[in-house]
Amino acid sequence: MNTITEIQTVSVRRGRYDEVVAIGGHHASDIIDHFADALPERRVDFDRKGRGGALNLDLYGYDAQQKVAVVQVREAFRHRASHFMNTRKNYVLVGHGEITGLPFRHPVSSAAVRAAIRKDPDNPASAVRAAQRWMWGVSEKQLAKSIRQGDVLMVPVRGTPEGTAIEGGKMVVGRSHEVRASKLLRGTNGEIFAFIPQIHHAKDQHDAIYAEEERWYEVRVADTAAAWDFSRPVGD
C-alpha cells in the first residue's frame, strides 16, 4: 500500500455526516494517525450511569500534494445521567512545518468546510482549499497564484496600491514572519503591500519564500476561527 502522502483522488467514501470514511484503499483513521501530533488525543470516559465525556476525531478533507488535512474535533459530554448528551466541535487544518516537521493546527470555518463538501464531495482536497480560501479571504484563482509560508500568504495585486510608505524595507507580520522588500506600504484599511517581497521565518520552521513576478503583493495573515480549549491553534 502507498503511504498516505501518495494518495491519489481515486475514490472517496463518506459517512452519514459527510465525514471521510476512506480514500482509495486508505481508511480515514490511517490519515488522521499521520497527523496525531497536531491533534488532541481521542478519549472516552463515561461511568456506569453514562456521565462523563469523549473526544473524537473525524476526517473531512485531505490534500496529498500539500500534505495537510481538515479534521473535525468533537467533544461529547453529559454531566448527569438524566441529561441529554452535549456536543462541542471545531474544524481544524493540520499539517507539519516543511523544515522542522513540527505540527501545526489551525481552526477554520465550519461553514466553509461543509459548503465545499456539499459542492464537491468526491474530491477530498475541496475542504482543504475551502478552508484556505476562508483563512486568507481569497478566491480560488487568487489562491492558485499566491505564495504561502505557514499562515502568511503573498497575494499578487493589480497595479500600484495606495498607502503610506513603511520605512526600513522590512517588517514582521504574524509574530514570526519577516517581510523584506524594496518598497513597503500600509494601505488605508491596514493592509500590507510589498513590491517583489520575500518572507523569512524567524523560527526557521518554514523555507523562505520569494515573489515570482516583479509586481506588488498583498501580505495577508490567516484568520483563525474561534475554538474550544481542546482545538486551539498549535504551531507557527
Same domain, yes or no, for 20 and 116?
yes
Q: What is the pLDDT of residues 46-73, one digit of tens each?
A: 888 778 889 999 999 999 999 999 999 9
Tens-binned pLDDT, residue by residue, of the chain (236 aa): 345 555 555 689 999 999 999 998 899 999 999 999 999 999 988 888 778 889 999 999 999 999 999 999 999 988 777 778 789 999 999 999 887 888 999 999 999 999 999 999 999 999 999 999 999 999 999 999 999 998 999 999 999 999 999 998 999 998 889 999 999 999 999 999 999 999 998 877 778 899 989 999 999 999 999 999 999 999 86
- Decide if 236 is inside a domain: no
Q: Give ∠ CA 178-160-148 in degrees, rounded to 5.
A: 35
Supply angle C-alpha 7, 9, 10, rounded to 5. 100
**Side-chain-side CA neighbours of residue 170 (13 Å):** 10
- Sort strands 43-46 and 12-14 into parallel, antiparallel or unpaired: unpaired
Residue 229 lies in a domain: no
At residue 5, the pLDDT reads 52
Q: Which of residues 89, 105, 136 is at a domain's end?
A: 136
pLDDT of residue 1: 32
Give pLDDT, residue 7.
Answer: 55
CA pseudo-torsion sign 110, 63, 19, 11:
positive
Strands (E), 24-166: 26-27, 43-46, 52-63, 68-78, 86-96, 103-108, 147-149, 152-156, 164-165
Which cell numbers in the block locate residue 82? 438524566
User: Where would I find the beta strands (DSSP E) of the chain?
Assistant: 12-14, 20-23, 26-27, 43-46, 52-63, 68-78, 86-96, 103-108, 147-149, 152-156, 164-165, 170-173, 177-180, 183-186, 192-195, 198-201, 209-210, 216-221
Of the candidates 136, 167, 183, which is a domain's last residue? 136
Burial code (b: 16+ CB inside 10 Å, e: under 16) for 11-35 equals ebebeeeebbebbbebebebbbebb
Do the domain assignments include residue 181?
Answer: yes
Residues 28 and 114 in one domain: yes
Residues 113, 158: one domain? no
- In angstroms, the Cα distances linking 5 to 65, 146, 158, 169, 193 are 7, 23, 35, 38, 35
N-term to C-term CA, the chain: 32
| Same domain (yes/no): 14, 111 | yes
pLDDT confidence of residue 2: 42
Total number of domains in the chain: 2
| Cβ-Cβ contacts under 8 Å for 85 (sequence gap 6 or more) | 76, 77, 78
Q: Which three cell numbers stand for residue 212?
A: 515570482
> How many Å apart are CA 220 and CA 69, to the nearest integer?
21
The domain containing residue 202 runs over which residues? 147-221
Residues 104 and 198 in one domain: no
Q: Are residues 75 and 171 in the same domain?
A: no
For residue 140, how many other CB atoms are within 10 A of its CB? 11
Distance from C-alpha of 171 to C-alpha of 36, rounded to nearest angstrom: 34
Side-chain half-sphere CA neighbours of 60 within 13 A: 32
